[in-house]
């Protein structure tokens, strides 16, 4: 009974990619993806997605633990707020970031006053935009795992005399590893595909802010074949990341 809808679901995901493959000119594929602008975009995408994944881990792990373990009132509201970037249209996210960190935004004014630099149009802006949209994926996977596991191990550890930091390091963190692995993969993949917030907040300039998705969009204006080739490259990278990291992440071998 579950087979027909399951097949439909799978087809919905796979067939569009097949459509791209059919449309693409595979003989030109190598030359199209090795152009300077494509390689620059790929490099920038890998760099920024990597950096924003690190940012997601550094900021998202503590947030997930707080959300899952805190008994404070209002935490439920916070949990909903964390999901906001998932439902906001990316362009709206980009505008929101612009109003905060743009030259006229209240935090942006502060940054400019302190450093003399502005945030938009920089690679840092790309990383911020990607972190903004990718972090919920990490927090949600971790928080779910933490709540699923419960806190009995942590309580036992602390009754046995472990200090809070030791409990976090020796008990909470190992419990989290499988979920952390899949959360990392998800946020990296999301950061890699980020488009709307980046183009709105960071702009688009080769080597500085033009990531692979933005390059696809720009190329589509003049040469659809080249845009399709780049789109395939993006898919290849995403699939490679998921295929390489996901199984290990699920088994929790990443340690």
Report the interface residues with other proteins, using CB under 8 A: 98, 102-104, 118, 120-121, 199, 202-206, 209-210, 217-222, 224
**Least distance to other proteins, CB of residue 5, Å:** 20
Quote the least distance from Cβ 95 to other proteins, whole Å.
Answer: 9
Smaller CB separation from other proteins, 44 or 184: 44
- Given the complex with other proteins, which of 124 and 177 has the nearer CB atom? 124
Q: Which is nearer to other proteins, 41 or 179 (CB)?
A: 41
Least separation in angstroms between CB 234 and other proteins? 18
| Closer residue to other proteins (CB): 47 or 91 | 91
Integer Cα distance of 49 and 114 in angstroms: 27
Nearest distance, CB of residue 227 and other proteins, angstroms: 10
Residues in the chain: 255
Our CB check for other proteins shows the closer of 63 and 214 to be 214
CB of 120 to other proteins, least distance (A): 5
- Say if CB 202 and CB 156 are below 8 A apart: no
Closest CA to 215 of 236, 194, 201: 194
């Amino acid at each position: 009974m579950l087979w027909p809808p399951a097949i439909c679901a799978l087809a919905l995901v796979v067939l569009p990619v097949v459509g791209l493959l059919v449309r693409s000119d595979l003989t030109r594929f190598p030359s199209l993806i090795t152009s300077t602008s494509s390689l620059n975009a790929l490099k920038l995408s890998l760099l920024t997605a990597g950096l924003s994944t690190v940012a997601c881990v550094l900021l998202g792990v503590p947030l997930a633990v707080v959300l899952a373990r805190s008994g404070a009132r209002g935490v439920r509201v916070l949990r909903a707020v964390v999901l906001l970037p998932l439902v906001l249209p990316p362009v709206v996210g980009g505008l929101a970031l612009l109003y905060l960190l743009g030259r006229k935004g209240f935090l942006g004014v502060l940054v400019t006053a302190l450093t003399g630099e502005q945030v938009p149009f920089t690679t840092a802006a790309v990383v911020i935009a990607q972190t903004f949209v990718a972090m919920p994926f990490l927090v949600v996977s971790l928080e779910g795992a933490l709540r699923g596991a419960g806190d009995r191990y942590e309580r036992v550890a602390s009754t046995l005399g472990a200090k809070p930091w030791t409990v976090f390091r020796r008990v909470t963190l190992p419990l989290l590893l499988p979920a952390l692995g899949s959360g990392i993969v998800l946020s990296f993949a999301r950061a890699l595909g980020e488009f709307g917030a980046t183009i709105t907040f960071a702009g688009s300039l080769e080597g500085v802010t033009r990531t692979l998705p933005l390059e696809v969009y720009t190329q589509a204006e003049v040469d659809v074949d080249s845009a399709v080739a780049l789109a395939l490259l993006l898919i290849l990278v995403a699939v490679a990341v998921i295929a390489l990291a996901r199984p290990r992440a699920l088994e929790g071998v990443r340690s």
